[in-house]
Amino acid sequence: MQDMDISSPAAFVNGGLLRMHVGRKVRTVLQVTRSDIGSVMGRSTDGCQLVAKGSPPVPLTSYVEVIGVAENENTIRAELWTNFGDTFDASNYDKLCQLANGELKHLFL
């Protein structure tokens, strides 16, 4: 297994922002749409379909946070999975992603 890059903090991303961090550590929350062995498909907080590769927790709740390295603009190689339960405010998280990548980037990275 490849070593995870732990030297820098994970950037908060949604579907649209993932492409800006390809090859780097990212974190995001997905609403699980499909769960297979070795990967999970989910909807990002801005409505894109993303893939998280790895071993999800069992059982898996509706919302899950994944932290890992961005492989490409719609895939994350997840190292860390956290169940976020069945209710989650996607819009709040999405706004957070925008702030964290925009004007307030310097507070996060």
Partner 1 sequence: MANSVSQDAISTILANPSPDSSSDLPDIIVQVLDLKLTGNRYTFNASDGKMKLRAIFPSNMSSDIMTGSVQNKGLVKILDYTLNDIPNKSEKYLIVTKCEVVSSALETEIKTGEPDIVLKKPKLEHEVKNEANTDLAGIVLKPKQEMVSKSAAQIVHEQRENMAPLARMAMTRRVHPLVSLNPYQGNWTIKVRLTSKGNMRTYKNARGEGCVFNVELTDEDGTQIQATMFNEAARKFYEKFQLGKVYYISRGTLKVANKQFKTVKNDYEMTLNDNSVVEEASDEEAFIPETKFNFVPIDQLGPYVNGRELVDIIGVVQSVTAVSNIKRKIDNENIPKRDMIVADETKKTVVVSLWNELANNVGQELFDLADKSPIVAIKSLKVSDFQGVSLSTLGKSTVMINPDVSEAKKLRSWYDSEGKGSSMANIGMGLSPSRSGARSMYTDRISLSDITSNQSLGDEKPAFFSIKAFVSLIRPEQAMWYCGCKTCNKKVTEAIGSGYWCEGCQKNDEECNLRYIMVSKISDTRGEAWVSAFNEEAEKIVGCSAGELDKLKSELGDIDGYQQKLKEATWIPHLFRVSVTQNEYNNEKRQRITVRAVAPIDFAEESRYLLEDIKKMRGSH
Give residues in contact with partner 1 (CB under 8 A).
Answer: 89, 92, 95-96, 99, 103
Nearer to partner 1, 23 or 85 (CB): 85
In terms of Cβ atoms closer than 10 Å to its own Cβ (0-12, 13-18, 19+), residue 10 is buried
Which residue, 79 or 94, is less far from partner 1 as judged by CB?
Answer: 94
CB of 87 vs partner 1, minimal distance in Å = 8
Least separation in angstroms between residue 59's CB and partner 1 is 23
Select from 103, 94, 108 the least CA-distant residue to 25: 108
CB of 12 to partner 1, least distance (A): 14
- 19/95 with CB nearer partner 1: 95
